[in-house]
Each structure stands twice: as structure tokens, then as C-alpha cells.
A and B are shown apart, each in its own frame.
Chain A
Amino acid sequence: MSIFIDTDTRLVVQGITGRDGSFHTRQMRDYGTQVVAGVTPGKGGQRFDDAVPIFDTVAEAVAATGANTAVIYVPCRFAADAIFEAGESGVGLVVCITEGVPVLDMTRALPFLRERGVRLVGPNCPGIISPGKSKVGIIPGQICRQGSIGVVSRSGTLTYEIIHQLTRNGYGQTTCIGIGGDPLIGTNFIDCLSAFQADPQTDAIVMIGEIGGTDEQQAAAYVAQHVTKPVVGFIAGQTAPPGRRMGHAGAIISGSSGTAQEKIAAFEQAGIAVMKRPVEVVDLLRARQ
């Protein structure tokens, strides 16, 4: 099995005719994702690549195609509204790839989705891939392989680096999910840990965190209490100076809180094996399985 997406995922792409949306829609279709609809206001009635029907609104797309998942590639000034639109369209999962959504908009969007029982992944994330089944977002399909490791991360390319290490050493993945680098996100580590714990095909979990906030510390406490599968962790940003935003809006040490050191300590205390270098992921998994 896998978490959040699989062969039943029927995807609507918001911003399908844009530069990023069109490129990644082709990549997702090549990978085998069922892209059933696209949305670009004003282009309703057309088809993307002569195949995928385009609608003016997400609600129309869902009504006509039975889409159950939405992915957002629209530019950041429209992204918050795209999240709201997806949230009331009837899909159960919304994945927002777009970076740059104002955090005040997220304080409004998150309760709106929660009240409707809709899961949001992101914003500012690489999305989800369940190797061999479906991919929603931008994680390169060729570096993944079907298997039994669950991967959850706040990062993009760092996640690819670690997936790459796993795949080339024979460790395939059930699902790899990038939860996003923003301070306010829809799905956190604990949501993914509990889904991986419940997934019978996932044998072990790799969790990749970074400086800023306390999500990793809470995840560590959750692991100690509720996760029986082996967990291997990594924290990026040991050399990051305090008070500076390290690329990701959420990757900032505020005062003395949110440092890599405190997160690593929380991981170790919870029995999570912590990699000092990304390349160690394989040895640590091997030692714990």
C-alpha cells in the first residue's frame, strides 16, 4: 500500500496551462498518474495535449470527472484562493506546490479546509509520490522505486538526495512526501508518521527535518509514544546562523528556539537513529531492520 495517493488517485491540475503546470502535468502523466482534468479560468472547453479536459473552475472539473485530488501550480498571488477553491470543490486532498503564499492567508485557509475535512499538503512543497502508482507534484519519478520505506520531509532536493541513496542501495519506497518549507503547512510530520505506522506495507520511516519551529520535537514525542516501526532521521541546518531565513520561509531559528541541536536531541531521546550525513541513511536502516 501507500499513503495519501495511489492508483485510485484522480487528479485535477490547477494552473494546467501555465509554465510549471504544463511541464509537470506531462511529467505526472508520463509517470502514470491519472490526470483527469485541468483548470485554467477562461480556457474551459479546451483540452491539454489533446487529452486532458480543461475547465474554468475546480467545482466543474470535479463534477464532470470525479477528480478526488487537486494539485496547485498557480502563481503565488493566486495560490491562496486556489486552495480555498479546491477546498470547497469536493476533493479530499489538495497539494499546493506553489511557494510564496502569505502566512496570514494560510491562517485563514487552514481552518477552512479542516472544517471541510480536506487534507492539504504544502504549500511550498514538492508533493507526493507513491512509486509505481502515482505522483502528484514535482518529485522526479526516476529516482524512486517501489518498496517498503516511507519518506517524509520538509525539503525538496535534500529529499531527492536521500531517496536517491535509498533507491540505489535497494531500498524502495511506499510513499515519499514533501510537507513543505513554510511555517504554516496543512500536513505535518505527525500526520505522515501516523499514516505510515498504519500502512501495512511500510516497514520503516525516514524523517527529514530542518531548523525552525517545533514540528520535529513534537514528531519525536509522537514517535516515542505511537510509532513501533524503525525511524531514521536527519536535521538540516546545524551551521545556520540564528535569525536568518535559510531559503525556506519556515527555516529560521528564532532567538534560541528551533535549532538543529535541540531537534537532534529530541530525535535521539525518542529512539530515532539520526544521520550525521545523508549517505548514512542506508546503514542506519540496515542496522535497525
Chain B
Amino acid sequence: MNLHEYQARALLKAAGIPVPDGDVAVTAEEAAAIASRIGGPVVVKAQVHAGGRGKAGGVKLAADAAEARRHAEAILGMQIKGLTVEKVLVVPAAEIASESYVGVIIDRASQRPVVMVSPAGGVDIEEVAAKTPEKIFKVAIDPRFGLLPHQAMGLAFRLYDDLRQVRQAATIMQQLYRAFVHAGGSLAEINPLITTPAGDVIALDAKVVVDDNELDRRLEIAALRDVSSEAASEVEAREAGLSYIQLDGNVGCCVNGAGLAMATMDLVKYYGGEPANFLDIGGSSNPDKVVTALRIITRDPKVKSILFNIFGGITRCDDVANGIVTARRSIDIACPIVIRLTGTNEDIAVRILTEAGFEALTDMDEAVQQAVKLAREAA
């Protein structure tokens, strides 16, 4: 789960990290009030889970409260990569003497948390890693001990020469590591970590990504979820225990298992079609889940055919068949459905589907080709 910048800032602040003044607003009036309280020039920043906010016009400098109001009016309600901006963060326009990068990630290769710093801050760190890897410094952490003071100092010396700044940065890294663990993070980064003209080290922008598997035991973090910032269909799917991601194609896919779901989408593409979505109905096949899945898929106006691909193991094919038959009674399904199922209770499923007037296939390639063809004919 991605946190908004203003939420990440609050977590960092609670951990003791110096962050500039500022607050979040949902109306232009609130934004103006925050700007006038701060005084002087401010930056109005769209709070939306999309990269490239600046390029999309979602980050604007304002000389005073009146200009902040005008920018907030323009930014609130704006669409950035298909997401509507509901909130803006208003912060003082910082004077920056230098910019660096500090982050904590879970490193898959070393299987440990890694603290990573770079004196090349304020830009995309992936780009730095790709173009100038010598500018990135890392320490793998033993999670039993956390980031030790000397490790933090060692990294901070890579960023600053001034001992006071080194100490400040080292403290911030330890605070960031603790905030990362506290939030159940899979990533926590400050980019940029700046020095002010007065020589202080402060966090200007923050990003925190929380491991979804942590949310059950960190209710205060789970409460930060902003459903208004996600596609409604994805929220509905998650609440029903489905894993759904909307894409741009016209073949709706409903599959059991994530790997098979991806392989099915790939096969749609192989046969010249485009998948409309990723959808994994999960292991246990409750017919209700199938109904919800079909409701979500059919709501996407781009969908021209629907493809079921079920390999019955724990999932019982007859449960899925019953779900499809129930769904057709309760919701209006305009486009053709192609069903492939094999495995546990396949025979019962085929009977249920045949009696209800559906054709049931057992071959994956045949089903995918048919779904692609039907979508093309309808387009």
C-alpha cells in the first residue's frame, strides 16, 4: 500500500525527523489559509499515487496565499494518470543548499533491509543507480539489531563533510529506519534530504510503501488507506478477496491463481488480443467471488469478451460453474463468455454449464483463441 506524501511526512515527523512546516488541504480555501499561515512563497503539491506529478502540472510554486488558492483550485479535481486529485499538500518553498537521497528498502537478493544513500538527490534514484552506480552507498541491516550508530555515521560521511551535518543525517537515518519498521514498510525514502542555507539537514519529500501483509496487525497504518485515490473496481475487488488490476484491453480475464492469471493474459496477447485486466479469484472457490468478479469485469465498458481459465486444484470447477450461472441470472452480461476449466470436479462443472447453455472447454489455448476472436468481432 502506497502512502501519500503528507502521510509519509507525518510518520517521519512522529519519528523525530525534521520536516518543513505545512499541511494538507481538500479545498482551495484551506490551501490559501495554510499558505497565509506559513507566510512567504509556498509549493502546492497534488497528493495522488502517481509518479511524475510535477510534469503533469500537479506541483506549483506560489508567491503568496492568493496564488496558492488559484493553484489549489486548478490542481484539486485534476486527473493525473487516471486518478483524481482529492488533496493538496501546502509547504513552504524551501531554500536548498544541497540535495541527497536516503532510503530503506527490503533487498530481495540479500534478503535483508538495506539502507541506501546517495549524494545525488532530488532525482529518480533508479536513474542514478543505472547511470552512476558509484554514487550509491548501501549497508545491509541485521534486523535483530537495526541500523547501528556507526553504520549510520559511515553512510552519512558519504553525504556530507561537515561533522554537524554528518551527525544530523546519521540521526535521521536511524529515525527513518525505525519509522520503516514501525510502519511495516517495504520502502521508506527521503528524496531529497536537503541542507538549508543555515546548514541544517531536513527531509523535504518522503515516500513510504507499506507491505500489504502488515496491515492486519498495524491498524493505525491500515487506517491511512485512501480508497478515493484508487480505482473503485480495485477497491471492490480487494474487499471481496479478489486480486484485480484494470488494464486497457478488451478481453476480460477471470483466472484462479496469480501465475496462471498472468500466463493467461500473456496468451491473450500471443493470439493477438489485449487483456482488459488481471484477476485472480484465489484458491478457495466461493461462487459469490465469481459473481463479484463478473460484476467487476462487466462494468468495464472496454470489455468485449470474457474468458474464464480455471485449473481446479483446491478450487472446485463446479463452484466456479455455479458462480457463472448465478451471475448470469443476477447481472446483465452483454458480452460473450468463454469458459475453460479442468481439474477437480470438471465433469460436474461441464454438466452444470451445458445445462445452462454455456459451452465448456478444457483446452487453454483453444479458449483463449476463441475469446480473442469474439472480442475482435464485437469491436
Contact = CB atoms under 8 A, between A and B. Distances in A.
Contact of A240 (B243, B278, B313, B344): B278
Contacts of B313: 126, 138-140, 156-157, 160
B365 interface: yes
A215 B107 CA distance: 12
A249 B261 contact: no
A247 to B, nearest CB: 3
Nearest to A110: B111
B265 interface: yes
15 contacts: A102-B211, A104-B184, A110-B111, A140-B343, A154-B259, A155-B257, A157-B315, A158-B257, A161-B263, A183-B106, A237-B262, A241-B247, A244-B278, A260-B266, A277-B365
Q: Which of A76, A104, A244, A279 has the most CB of B within 10 A?
A: A104
A161 B311 CA distance: 7
Which residue of A110, A155, A279 has the most chain B CB atoms within 10 A of its CB atom?
A155
A102 B211 CA distance: 7
A239 B211 contact: no
B214 interface: yes
Contacts of A241: 245, 247
Contacts of A77: 216-217
A24 to B, nearest CB: 8
Interface stretch (A32-40, A86-94, A205-213, A220-228): A205-213
A246 B106 contact: no
A154 B263 CA distance: 13
Contacts of A279: 364-365
Nearest 6 Cβ contacts at the A-B interface: A155-B259, A247-B258, A157-B257, A158-B259, A236-B262, A157-B260
Contact of A104 (B181, B260, B343, B344): B181
A214 B109 CA distance: 8
B280 interface: yes
A66 interface: no
Contacts of B280: 247
A248 B258 contact: yes
A210 B262 contact: yes
A14 to B, nearest CB: 18
A208 B259 contact: yes
Nearest to A214: B109
A184 B247 CA distance: 27
A265 B222 CA distance: 39
Interface string A174-208: 00000001011000000000000000000000001
A269 interface: no
Nearest to A138: B314
Interface in B240-275: 243, 245, 247, 255-263, 265-270, 274-275
A interface majority secondary structure? loop
Nearest to A156: B257
A77 B269 CA distance: 38
Interface residues of A, number: 60
Given A103-B106, A155-B259, A213-B108, A239 B269 contact: yes
A164 interface: yes
Interface string B291-335: 000000000000000000001111100000000000000000000
Given A138-B313, A247-B280, A249-B213, A278 B265 contact: no
Contacts of B126: 255-257
B126 to A, nearest CB: 4
B342 interface: yes
Nearest to B181: A104
Given A157-B256, A276-B270, 16 more contacts: A23-B314, A102-B214, A107-B143, A111-B142, A126-B313, A161-B260, A184-B108, A211-B262, A236-B260, A237-B262, A239-B266, A239-B275, A247-B258, A247-B261, A247-B262, A248-B259
Nearest to B234: A244
A118 interface: no
Interface string A97-140: 00011111011101100000000000000100000000000111
A194 B321 CA distance: 42
Nearest to A165: B364
A154 B262 CA distance: 12
Pick the most buried of A106, A157, A181, A208: most chain B CB atoms within 10 A of its CB: A157
A251 interface: yes
Contact of A160 (B108, B144, B181, B343): B343
A104 B143 contact: yes
Contact of A107 (B112, B255, B260, B269): B112
A264 B258 CA distance: 19
B259 A108 contact: no
A160 B364 CA distance: 13
Interface in B197-219: 211-214, 216-217
A229 interface: no
